[in-house]
Copies of this chain bind each other. A is one copy, B any other.
């Protein structure tokens, strides 16, 4: 506790605003909360993983959820913007699916109040999976005979609906948790789990004021009721040199959803769990290194210029947030039988 108290003290001395005490270092729960109408069950998780991995529900038959939110990587695609069907580029960088269950809203602009609603979005997005609408995609699921038994098992008879498919995918995503990082082990009492530099970085992270937004178990803000969202203006200090350099004023963020002036440039505070694996950074993927991303954040959000040592220490600390990835066994997908889908192809 001594180290934690020191952090709190450092933060108090730094005078940074904070929604929670910086000393409130939380470990990642091993289970994610689920909505009352979609309790997590093994049958839903099994079906959800199949749907998540299956590329046949995109217009070209080549793009699955896992294409952009790749569980073999840090839950994203390591690229500035995601690539959907026909080589088309998405407008924002794909957020990580790992630990997304600990976010009270989904998408950078928070437009989905749940993982269930999020799951329906990319399917019909013309530059992502490119289906006409989710019902058309669901018809493909229905046309693969082998899927019925999995829906029956997860949801009972006559249950092959878009809502149930989305529930299954969400149930699978709620299992994508990366506990037991060096940070978690440190907070749980193993004082050797983090290096000296990482401990120093942890204190600097708090003292600099990063915990004002990046608090809580997933470092994405305080626990909020499902659907509410924790948003911050990015950039807050728009005269930062980085704003022009990285085009940070181009995206209006949550305003695109609500059309309220107050929501201009508001973005969901993203988790920092596994952030060392998810370059490039920010909603536009414009920043290639974590080192630079830390400096950008300090400047645009806290109006601070970090020196090289403090930056390196914070980066070292953030690397301690890389958790253990539960092994993902690939599902054996039921085959398309007797015919092939009319996939969209290059003309």
Residues of A within 8 A of B (CB): 53-56, 60-63, 67, 70-74, 77-80, 83, 85-89, 276-280, 285, 288-289, 325, 327-333, 335-341, 343-346
Given contacts A329-B329, A329-B330, A331-B72, contact A78 B288 (CB under 8 A): no
Given contacts A279-B336, A328-B330, contact A61 B85 (CB under 8 A): no
Is the pair A327, B330 in contact by a Cβ cutoff of 8 Å? yes
Closest to A322 in B: B335
- Cα distance, A80 to B339, chains bound together (Å): 10
- Cα distance, A268 to B344, chains bound together (Å): 29
Residue A87 contacts which of B73, B85, B325 (CB distance < 8 angstroms)? B85
Is the pair A335, B279 in contact by a Cβ cutoff of 8 Å? yes
Closest to A146 in B: B277
- Cα distance, A288 to B54, chains bound together (Å): 20
Residue A74 contacts which of B71, B335, B338, B339 (CB distance < 8 angstroms)? B335
Closest to A324 in B: B332
Kindly provide the distance from the CB of A114 to the nearest chain B CB, expressed in whole angstroms: 26
**Chain B residues near A87 (CB-CB < 8 A):** 60, 62, 85-87, 344-346
- Cα distance, A328 to B72, chains bound together (Å): 12
- Cα distance, A140 to B254, chains bound together (Å): 36
Kindly provide the distance from the CB of A323 to the nearest chain B CB, expressed in whole angstroms: 11
Kindly provide the distance from the CB of A52 to the nearest chain B CB, expressed in whole angstroms: 11
Is the pair A89, B327 in contact by a Cβ cutoff of 8 Å? no
Residue A339 contacts which of B72, B88, B288, B327 (CB distance < 8 angstroms)? B288
Kindly provide the distance from the CB of A27 to the nearest chain B CB, expressed in whole angstroms: 21
Is the pair B83, A345 in contact by a Cβ cutoff of 8 Å? yes
- Cα distance, A72 to B50, chains bound together (Å): 9
Residue A340 contacts which of B89, B288, B331, B341 (CB distance < 8 angstroms)? B288
- 4 pairs of A and B residues whose beta carbons are closest in the complex: A87-B346, A78-B336, A328-B330, A277-B335
Residue A330 contacts which of B280, B285, B289, B330 (CB distance < 8 angstroms)? B330
11 pairs, CB–CB < 8 Å, chain A vs chain B:
A61-B77, A72-B330, A72-B332, A86-B86, A86-B87, A88-B345, A89-B346, A279-B337, A285-B340, A289-B338, A327-B330
**Chain B residues near A331 (CB-CB < 8 A):** 72
